Amino acid sequence: MQESVLYLELKQRLDQARDSIRYADGRDDKEALAEMIRELERLVELAAVPDEVRPLLRRER
Protein backbone atom coordinates (compact mmCIF):
# COMPACT_ATOMS: atom_id res chain seq x y z
CA MET A 1 0.00 0.00 0.00
CA GLN A 2 1.38 3.37 -0.97
CA GLU A 3 0.90 5.98 1.72
CA SER A 4 -0.27 9.44 0.75
CA VAL A 5 1.96 12.47 1.09
CA LEU A 6 -0.56 13.97 3.52
CA TYR A 7 -0.43 10.87 5.72
CA LEU A 8 3.36 10.85 5.75
CA GLU A 9 3.59 14.55 6.57
CA LEU A 10 1.04 14.28 9.37
CA LYS A 11 2.85 11.25 10.77
CA GLN A 12 6.13 13.18 10.72
CA ARG A 13 4.55 16.13 12.55
CA LEU A 14 3.04 13.76 15.09
CA ASP A 15 6.47 12.24 15.75
CA GLN A 16 7.94 15.74 16.14
CA ALA A 17 5.22 16.73 18.61
CA ARG A 18 5.83 13.58 20.64
CA ASP A 19 9.54 14.42 20.77
CA SER A 20 8.79 18.03 21.76
CA ILE A 21 6.64 17.04 24.73
CA ARG A 22 9.66 15.43 26.35
CA TYR A 23 11.44 18.78 26.45
CA ALA A 24 8.50 21.04 27.30
CA ASP A 25 9.09 23.09 30.43
CA GLY A 26 5.80 23.93 32.05
CA ARG A 27 2.56 22.13 32.60
CA ASP A 28 0.72 24.46 30.20
CA ASP A 29 3.23 23.64 27.46
CA LYS A 30 2.82 19.92 28.05
CA GLU A 31 -0.98 20.17 28.05
CA ALA A 32 -0.97 22.16 24.81
CA LEU A 33 1.37 19.64 23.18
CA ALA A 34 -0.74 16.74 24.43
CA GLU A 35 -3.83 18.31 22.85
CA MET A 36 -1.92 18.85 19.60
CA ILE A 37 -0.78 15.21 19.67
CA ARG A 38 -4.37 13.98 20.11
CA GLU A 39 -5.51 16.10 17.16
CA LEU A 40 -2.60 14.92 15.00
CA GLU A 41 -3.35 11.29 15.89
CA ARG A 42 -6.93 11.81 14.72
CA LEU A 43 -5.76 13.43 11.48
CA VAL A 44 -3.24 10.63 10.86
CA GLU A 45 -6.03 8.08 11.25
CA LEU A 46 -8.22 9.98 8.79
CA ALA A 47 -5.37 10.40 6.31
CA ALA A 48 -4.77 6.65 6.39
CA VAL A 49 -8.33 5.98 5.19
CA PRO A 50 -8.59 5.42 1.42
CA ASP A 51 -10.08 8.34 -0.53
CA GLU A 52 -13.11 6.34 -1.63
CA VAL A 53 -14.11 5.68 2.01
CA ARG A 54 -13.77 9.25 3.33
CA PRO A 55 -17.19 10.45 2.08
CA LEU A 56 -18.80 7.63 4.06
CA LEU A 57 -17.03 8.77 7.23
CA ARG A 58 -18.22 12.34 6.77
CA ARG A 59 -21.85 11.18 6.51
CA GLU A 60 -21.57 9.28 9.79
CA ARG A 61 -20.61 12.38 11.77
The pLDDT assigned to 6 comes to 83
Longest Cα separation, the chain: 42
Instruction: Give pairs for 23-31: CB < 8 Å, separation 24+.
Output: none
Question: What's this model's pTM, rounded to 2 decimal places?
Answer: 0.63
Nearest in space to 34 (alpha carbons), one of 16, 19, 21 = 21
What pLDDT score was predicted for residue 5?
Answer: 84
Please answer whether residues 40 and 13 qualify as being in contact, where contact means their C-beta atoms are separated by less than 8 angstroms. Answer: yes
Calculate the alpha carbon distances from 6 to 26, 27, 31, 32 in Å. 31, 30, 25, 23
Series of mean pLDDT values for 10-residue runs along the chain (61 residues): 78 90 85 90 84 67 53
